[in-house]
């Protein structure tokens, strides 16, 4: 057993482990805080909703961007509005493609620190391009540049997450999930509030408790060389974030990929071999679920992967036919609620894989190739230039 894993098992807890464990409590704290602020925020949002043809962009960089990938389809359906997810890394390089000047815009920026160069540049470019522009900053850092931006601009509001979610570890864990929940509670308060979300919190608490000291992987302890996460619709965003956690916390020693179950057949499936772990996030929607179970059956039949693990809240013969995890809940969960549970499993797996590899998960990039707050980005001022047609 390597020294890092041994230390973890002896009770020396990393920041990353602490931040994974604290999530259920942080979620409840965030919801309670939002309840106290709801009146003022609802009035401010009403002024945007009153504008015809309004557009909501959910943005961030890295894990913060994946929040939008997970929740944008759900919010678009709930609000019956034009809600899209576009990373700040795209907004900054191609503002002319994403900021039409004839549509009212609400830019929702997710940021753990609020100090990433692209995050700050994106809000500035939005103001520059869009005459009718509003900003909602959802951040974990009261001293960050984005939080300060909100205090200095009349067209901006900020919502600060509980202090402990400003994760000290390298990889975002409690920060991403708490910002995701807070955004859902802001825009869909009837579906996401303290009483209604308690069953998700209880389920995730049980997942964490069931994995004890995190010395055992959530998906088994075999000699993986690559990991593939699969999810449909919003759960593809969760799969993407799960793959990133593995890459981050193992410093790239364990290769990780993501796809949709149906898209997986169109080429990406060729990467599966006898050293591959495939994790399938099974949708709770009865229609989408059919496609997930079809691929699960196919992977079981082909026996190419080292292991295929299905995670679901609902029993099925296709799931029981191979390695699987049933969520510890009797409640029926929609896919957005499932995403919180699936991300807990993925975070635990990534942490365990990091420790098994002899890596310090709080600072996995010993070379400094990547940093907790991105470095080396030069922001170029926007200038209208003639382009080729």
Q: What is the pLDDT of residues 108-120, one digit of tens each?
A: 999 999 998 899 9
1: pLDDT strictly greater than 70: no
User: Is the distance from CB of 180 to CB of 71 less than 8 angstroms?
Assistant: yes
387: pLDDT strictly greater than 80: no
Q: Which residues contact 71 (CB under 8 A, 6 or more apart)?
A: 58, 85, 180, 183, 184, 234, 237, 336
What's the pLDDT score for residue 218? 85
What's the pLDDT score for residue 384? 66
What's the pLDDT score for residue 332? 92
7: pLDDT strictly greater than 50: no
Q: How far apart, in whole angstroms, are the C-alpha atoms of residue 31 and residue 33?
A: 5
Residue range 306-325: average pLDDT? 97
Q: How far apart, in whole angstroms, are the C-alpha atoms of residue 122 and residue 162?
A: 24
Residue range 29-37: average pLDDT? 92
Q: Summarize pLDDT for 151-206 with one digit per residue, the tens.
A: 999 999 999 999 999 999 989 999 999 999 999 999 999 999 999 999 999 999 99
Q: How far apart, in whole angstroms, are the C-alpha atoms of residue 259 and residue 186?
A: 29
Reported as a pLDDT band with limits 50, 70 and 90, residue 29 is very high
Reported as a pLDDT band with limits 50, 70 and 90, residue 388 is low
Q: What does the mean pLDDT of the chain come to? A: 92
Buried b (16+ CB within 10 A) or exposed e, 330-357: eeebebbbbbbbbbbbbbbbbbbbbbbb
Reported as a pLDDT band with limits 50, 70 and 90, residue 6 is very low
What's the pLDDT score for residue 376? 65
Both tokens of residue 371?
């940093």
User: Is the distance from CB of 89 to CB of 65 less than 8 angstroms?
Assistant: yes
* Of 351, 369, 377, nearest in space to 215 by CA: 351
User: Is the distance from CB of 41 to CB of 185 less than 8 angstroms?
Assistant: no
Residue range 34-40: average pLDDT? 88
Reported as a pLDDT band with limits 50, 70 and 90, residue 10 is very low
User: Is the distance from CB of 57 to CB of 108 less than 8 angstroms?
Assistant: yes
374: pLDDT strictly greater than 90: no
Higher pLDDT, 2 or 295: 295
């Amino acid at each position: 057993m390597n020294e890092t894993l041994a230390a973890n098992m002896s009770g020396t807890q990393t920041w990353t482990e602490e931040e994974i464990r604290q999530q259920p409590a942080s979620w409840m704290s965030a919801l309670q805080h939002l309840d106290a602020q709801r009146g003022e925020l609802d009035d401010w949002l009403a002024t945007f909703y009153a504008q015809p043809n309004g557009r909501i962009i959910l943005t961030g960089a890295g894990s913060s961007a994946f929040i939008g990938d997970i929740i944008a389809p759900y919010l678009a359906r709930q609000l019956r509005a034009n809600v899209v997810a576009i990373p700040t890394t795209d907004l900054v390089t191609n503002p002319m493609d994403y900021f039409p000047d004839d549509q009212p815009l609400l830019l929702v920026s997710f940021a753990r620190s609020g100090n990433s160069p692209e995050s700050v540049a994106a809000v500035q470019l939005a103001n520059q391009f869009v005459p009718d522009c509003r900003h909602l900053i959802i951040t974990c850092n009261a001293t960050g540049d984005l939080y300060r931006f909100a205090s200095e601009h009349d067209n901006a509001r900020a919502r600060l997450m509980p202090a402990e979610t400003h994760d000290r570890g390298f990889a975002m864990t409690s920060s991403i999930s708490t910002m995701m929940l807070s955004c859902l509670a802001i825009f869909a308060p009837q579906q996401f509030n303290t009483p209604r979300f308690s069953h998700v919190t209880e389920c995730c608490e049980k997942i964490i408790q069931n994995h004890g000291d995190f010395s055992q992987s959530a998906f088994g302890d075999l000699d993986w060389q690559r990991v593939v996460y699969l999810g449909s619709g919003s759960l593809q965003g969760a799969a993407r974030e799960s793959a990133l956690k593995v890459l981050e916390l193992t410093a790239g020693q364990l290769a990780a990929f993501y796809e949709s179950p149906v898209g997986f057949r169109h080429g990406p499936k060729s990467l599966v071999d006898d050293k591959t772990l495939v994790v399938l996030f099974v949708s709770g929607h009865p229609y989408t679920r059919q496609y997930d179970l079809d691929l699960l059956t196919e992977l079981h039949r082909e026996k190419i992967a080292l292991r295929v693990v299905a995670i679901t809240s609902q029993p099925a013969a296709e799931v029981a036919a191979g390695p699987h995890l049933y969520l510890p809940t009797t409640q029926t969960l929609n896919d957005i609620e499932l995403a919180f549970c699936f991300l807990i499993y993925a975070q635990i797996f990534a942490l365990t894989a990091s420790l098994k590899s002899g890596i310090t998960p709080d600072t996995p990039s010993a070379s400094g190739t990547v940093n907790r707050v991105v470095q080396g980005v030069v922001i170029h001022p926007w200038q209208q230039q003639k382009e080729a047609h």
